[in-house]
Structure 1
């Protein structure tokens, strides 16, 4: 293969490579937070705790106020008397209980997840703090300034003097 042919193949390969679609990211001008490397999303422990607390309170309120047990008994009573309204009321009550259960499950999931997230981030914070402090301790061990400037470090001992006993 001649040198010119090799250069031509390299140029055509580079041209094909530059015209290919890249799926590994957006160009900086198309990213909304390109100037901010950490992004716009920030979550603080106080925010997580507030969300979890609201979800927990909503769950308790739904448990206390949204369950309607009297509707079931009224539907059963009306159905036993031959009213079609009784079966309709029982159907509505059953659907209400299912939907209420779904909302309560979602509240419990949110509350539990916020507690988990808060604890996980606290654990991460402790891990990072320990890791950084251990680096500091290790770094102090490599400090060359154990002896005053101009003096020998005692750790290496003293040189024996020649000719003296």
Structure 2
């Protein structure tokens, strides 16, 4: 490529792109929270927390009822007793299943309990803030009385004129 051709291509590209600028980011319409009035901040209310905790509790109960396999241990010991190597393998799989199931159930219980705790903690925080703000309002109302017009000295602090 000759130098003059390079210069011509640069000039052409500059003219084509001179009126617009492209940033390396997603356009606003493709960003999940670009147009939200909260600016993309996470907002959760008590109903959301309760729903999450409730679903985690339901999942825990379903796992307890439906995912535990008690017959596998009996089958594994029976197969092992008959001399089948499959019995040991089945026992190994059953132990792994129980361990993994326990981990998932623990996670569900943790989520459920945490949502309940969070709901109660936020309710307590709400009461504390409400009390604190109302006490400030009560205290502040004592300072609302105007003893003098703005810019004028308070007569209480003026020197006694009887002298």
What is the TM-score with the length of structure 2 in the denominator? Answer: 0.65
Go from structure 1 to structure 2 and tell me whether the alpha carbon gap of 1:93 and 1:109 turns closer, same or farther (over 3 Å shift).
Answer: same
Go from structure 1 to structure 2 and tell me whether the alpha carbon gap of 1:142 and 1:117 turns closer, same or farther (over 3 Å shift).
Answer: same
Q: Deviations over 1:25-67 (max 9, x none)?
A: xxxxxxx87x967642111111000000000010011011111
Between the aligned partners of 1:75 and 1:39, the Cα distance in structure 2 is 53
Secondary structure, counterpart of 1:52 in structure 2:
helix
Between the aligned partners of 1:130 and 1:38, the Cα distance in structure 2 is 29
- Aligned-residue offset at 1:142: 2.2
Between the aligned partners of 1:101 and 1:42, the Cα distance in structure 2 is 32
Runs of 4+ in 1 over 2 A off after TM superposition: 35-40
Between the aligned partners of 2:100 and 2:136, the Cα distance in structure 1 is 53
Unaligned runs of 5+ in 1: 1-31, 147-155, 157-165
Are 1:66 and 2:67 matched, yes or no? yes
Between the aligned partners of 1:106 and 1:41, the Cα distance in structure 2 is 23
What is the TM-score with the length of structure 1 in the denominator? Answer: 0.64
Between the aligned partners of 1:120 and 1:75, the Cα distance in structure 2 is 47
Unaligned runs of 5+ in 2: 1-32, 148-155, 157-163
Secondary structure, counterpart of 2:144 in structure 1:
coil
Between the aligned partners of 1:104 and 1:144, the Cα distance in structure 2 is 61
Between 1:39-48 and 1:55-64, the stretch displaced more is 39-48
Between the aligned partners of 2:106 and 2:58, the Cα distance in structure 1 is 13
Residue 84 of structure 2 is matched in structure 1 by 83
Q: Deviations over 1:73-101 (max 9, x none)?
A: 11001100101111111111000000000
Q: Report matched runs for 1:1-165 at 5 Å.
A: 39-144=40-145
Q: Kindly tell me the number of residue pairs found equivalent between the two proteins.
A: 120
Secondary structure, counterpart of 1:135 in structure 2:
helix
